Structure formats: structure tokens, C-alpha cells
A and B are shown apart, each in its own frame.
Chain A
Amino acid sequence: MKDQAVLHRDPAWRTRVTWAAIFIVLLYPLLAGAEFKPWLLFDAQSLRAAGMFLLDFLVPATDPEFLAMVLRETWQTVAIATAGLTLALLVAIPATFVITERLSISRLGTGRVHPFAALVRQGLRWILMILRSVPELVWALLFVRIVGLGPTAGVLAIALSYSGMLAKVYAEILESSDAHATDVLLANGSGRLPALLYGALPDSSAELVSYTVYRWECAIRGSAVMGFVGAGGLGQRLDESTKMMAGGEVATMLIMFVLLVAAADLVSKLLRRRLG
């Protein structure tokens, strides 16, 4: 039995162990650098503070006028997220077509992309990287200065940072799908865009939709954070209530966020079932 195991030694085993060890060695300093000290959560003072917060949160505010305001602001938050994501898609979809290497016609038969095409692709990748590496909160702060307080700043901030993320991930989803169908369509003389639509899209569409809906959910949460810097929506009210120490109001608004995220989850599930 033991001899068998030695004879059929898995050639990948040593590499896997080595990589796991390397990851642990690399990750430990990261944890230390992030001052990750979970035990601080459990000392007496922290527990007392947490208890007081929780007591205050236990009774969500339910007075009708406040609820109407919350619903109005929720609607605005959804509108900010949706408008921002739509603008982001207007940039991200064309950018995806450009940066997806799978769609290169010059690559056909040579295995090498034409230098000019490679340059354009890399240039656009850098632009997208800059767009998404600036946090949406920073974009929001910038736009609040330019267009003033209110939802417009939130919409523009989401549009800019999300277009970078969406295009990158869309291109990666398309490139990780099976290349055979797309390659054969290109080899038979079809254009780049039709080859994508008929070759790669059928198998990637569920994943693309699920990622888009997840990004919409992120945009809802993001617009809450941006509300803190005056970019409108539920987040701005959340900021006010937190500053007034109105625990009940904060609880009501947090419940609203949970409901929104649950709704996004449901939409994603339904769409995936349709496309699966």
C-alpha cells in the first residue's frame, strides 16, 4: 500500500505545498501591517460600548413621516445606483470590445497581435485602471465640489469608477470562456463584434448578468457611503441620523439597505435562471 503511494507520487503535490507555504509567509506580515487584532473586540470596554449601541438600535424608528422620507430617499438611492451603472455600461461595453484580446483578427494565424492594436488595447487598459483605482468616494468628493451637493455627484462618481471595473471584468469573463466557437467564426471571416455575439456571449451571458447585478448592488451600497460626503440619497440621511445619535432611525435605514441587497440578489437569481 505504502509502496503504491510512493510509486504514484502526485507530481503536483510538492508545488502545491510550496505555494501554500509561500502564501502564508507573505500573508502574515500583511495581517500584522493591517493591525488585525480581533481580541480587542472582546475586552470589557468594547463590549459595553457595543451593548449601548445595540440597545439603541433595538427599536427601529417607525413614525409615518420618517418612513415616507426613508422611502423617498431609498428611491433616490436606487435611482443614483441605476443611473450611475447605466452610464458606466455606456463606457464599459465598447471598452470591453476593444480590450478583449480574444477578438483580435491580426492574431489569427500568427498567434501575435499587431503592435498597433496591442498598443491601443494596452492604452485603454491603463485608462480603465486609472478610472477604477481612484475610489468612488474620492470621485464623489471631487464632483461635489464641481456640480454641488446632491445626487448628480453620486451618479458621476459611480459611472466613472464602475466603468473601469465593469470593462475589466467583462473582458476577463469573455476571455475565460471557451475560445473555440469565437476563433472558428473569426477564421471563417466574420467580424469581431458578430464573432463575440455569436461565439462567446451565449456561454458567458449568465456570468456577465450576475456580475452586473452584483455591481448594481455594490453601487447601492456605494451611494450610501457617498451620501456621507453630500452626494444625496439614503446615505446622506444616514449620516445626519448617526450624527444626531438617533439609533432607531439608523436601524430603520440599515434594514432598508438589507432589503435592497436582498432584492438585488433575487433579481440576479431570476435572471440567471432565465439564462441558465
Chain B
Amino acid sequence: MATYRLRGLTVRHLAGSRAPALHALDLTIRAGEQVALIGPSGAGKTTLLSTLACAHRPAEGTLEIFGKDPWQLSGAERHHLRSRLFLAPQAPPLPPRQRVVTAVLAARLPHWSLWQALASLVRPQDPAAAHAALTRFSLGDKLYARVDRLSGGERQRCGLARLLLSNAEALLVDEPISALDPALARHTLATLRQEAQQRGATLVCSLHQVDLAREQFGRLIGLRDGRIVFDAARDDVSDAMIAELYANEQVDMPPETPHDTPGQIAVGACF
């Protein structure tokens, strides 16, 4: 059974201009498949991941997750569906003053009763599991450290350790290695893939490191300006296709009058 089936899916930004972020996407991801999303900044990778996590309602087209349209379900059923998906955003969602053990165990919240959640704040419910998850990212010694004592790379891996404790069937990971050095990056991606494989979960991972994406993932989806440029097996993706995906990504030269800012920004800057 397909984990995801998208037909003509258009997704708009929720705030502001409501401009489309994704245009009529057609995409099927089978259960247990491992897919890398690549493309230039602003291509819509993050929007696609949050749409797949039911955290962003599409405007048109059909979206099926595990064979059901989440936005046809009742609110409670949809929220239950969210607990079967796991979204790991690029910025690790860890409160700075929380302890690592609490932050990692938060993955269990959808399955805990309110009483267990409260009790775990006082005395962590399953520190052994949290320690095991952290150890796989070589962070075992940070179990009882506070999040704000961690470095940027450690926080990112701590956010991924939370993923290991969820028992989601689809893992949606947004740029998991943006703060890691190359060796650690490869090890981290391998750990994620291994975890997905062991529990038979679908893995969708957005990446800026094209080389690593081609090395680690069997299927690559190239996204640009909210459209799928290619969707192919690793061996069918040529260097020319990659070059084209990122082509003309010139950085705009600074304009002549650099501080000609719109009035709205001026008001924002005031406060």
C-alpha cells in the first residue's frame, strides 16, 4: 500500500499573499520507501514535508495518506493520524531550558496519558530508551544535560533522537544534517535510514547535500519553484539533471539603493 498518493496537489502559503508554494504535484511514495528531496532554497521542500505531515492543508488536488484523505477525516481522527507520522523540522524544536531526556521522551506524548506526561516531567518515564536513542547519535553522555548547553550540531542530533523514540510509520525529516560535519552527516543519515528500514517506515528526507543524497538514497525527487523537475531512481539521475535543477541560481546582486524598504517592513522594524 502506498504511504502517500498526491494527485494535482496545489499548496498555498497560509499567511500573506496566499501564493502557491507547490503547483499540481503528482507523487506516489510506497510504504517503506526511502526518498531524498533536493532542490534550491525556496523550492518548496519544507512546505511539501509539512503537507505530508498534515501540518499544512493543501488548497487543491487530492492527498492520500495510508489510503485516506486526512482533510476529509474528523479533527480527532486527523490528529490520531498525525501521531503515525513524524515531522522533524530543520530547526530542532527543543526548548532551551528543557533537559535532553525530557525533550527526547516528548516523542512518546501522543501515546501517553496526561498523567504519564505529568509524571514524566517529575521523573522521566523511560530514561533507558532515551539513552539508547541518544547513544545511536553518540550523545549518550548528554542524557541529563540541558538543551541550551548543547552545541548546534548536538541539538540537531538530539531532535533526531526524538524521532527514534516515536513509533511513526512515516518519517519526514527536513535537512537533518545542515549543522553537522561531513563524517557525522554520513553517519547520521545512515542511522536514519537504518531506523526506517528496521521498522519498515517510509522515509522522506530533504537535503542540500546532493552528493550525500545520491550516495544514500535510492530515489531522488528534484523540486524547483514548487514543481517536480525529476523523480527518478538514483542511477537514472545524471549530473546534467542536477546541474539543471540548480541552474541560474545566481544570488541577486545588491540593488543600487540598498535601504529602499517597503513601508510595511518599516512598521515591523519599529516594534
Residues of A within 8 A of B (CB): 7-9, 11-12, 14-16, 19, 105-106, 108-111, 114, 178, 180-181, 183-185, 187-191, 193-195, 197-200, 202-203, 205-206, 275
Contacts and interface: CB of A to CB of B under 8 A. Distances in A.
B75 A180 contact: no
Contacts of A188: 53, 82-83, 85-87, 107, 109-110, 166, 168
Contacts of B267: 12, 15
A256 B63 CA distance: 68
Contacts of A206: 97
Contact of A106 (B75, B110, B114): B75
Interface stretch (B54-62, B133-141, B197-205, B243-251): B54-62
Interface string B82-93: 111111010101
Given A184-B93, A190-B109, A198-B98, 17 more contacts: A16-B270, A108-B82, A109-B57, A178-B95, A184-B87, A187-B53, A188-B87, A189-B109, A193-B114, A194-B109, A194-B114, A200-B95, A202-B95, A202-B96, A202-B102, A203-B96, A203-B97
Interface in B236-271: 257-259, 261, 263, 265-267, 269-270
Contact of A189 (B14, B85, B97, B117): B85
B128 interface: no
A189 B269 contact: no
Q: 4 shortest A-B CB distances, which residue pairs?
A: A189-B83, A184-B93, A189-B82, A190-B109
Contacts of B14: 110-111
Interface-centre pick from B14, B79, B261 (highest chain A CB count, 10 A): B79
Contacts of A7: 257, 259
B98 A197 contact: no
B94 interface: yes
B95 A109 contact: no
Contacts of A200: 95
A15 B270 contact: yes
Contacts of A16: 270
B15 A190 contact: no
Interface string B55-73: 1110000000000000000
Nearest to A199: B95
Interface residues of B, number: 49
30 contacts: A8-B258, A8-B259, A12-B266, A105-B75, A108-B82, A109-B57, A180-B93, A184-B93, A187-B54, A188-B53, A188-B83, A188-B85, A188-B166, A188-B168, A189-B81, A189-B85, A189-B110, A190-B83, A193-B114, A194-B117, A198-B95, A198-B98, A198-B106, A199-B93, A199-B106, A202-B95, A203-B95, A203-B97, A205-B97, A206-B97
Contacts of A193: 114, 117
A131 B151 CA distance: 46
Contact of B265 (A11, A105, A199): A11
Contact of A109 (B55, B84, B94): B55
Interface in B214-244: none
Contact of B109 (A108, A111, A195): A195
Contacts of A8: 258-259
A190 B110 contact: yes
Contacts of B168: 188
A105 B73 CA distance: 14
B118 interface: yes
Nearest to B263: A11
Most chain B CB inside 10 Å of its own CB: which residue of A8, A16, A110, A194: A194
Contacts of A184: 87, 89, 93
A211 B261 CA distance: 39
A111 B15 contact: yes
A110 B266 contact: no
B121 interface: yes
Give the one of B55, B75, B86, B93 with max A CB within 10 A: B93
A206 B96 CA distance: 13
Interface in B16-75: 50, 53-57, 75
B144 interface: no
Contacts of A105: 75, 79
A9 B266 CA distance: 11
A9 B258 CA distance: 10
Contacts of A11: 259, 261, 263, 265-266, 269
A15 B270 CA distance: 7
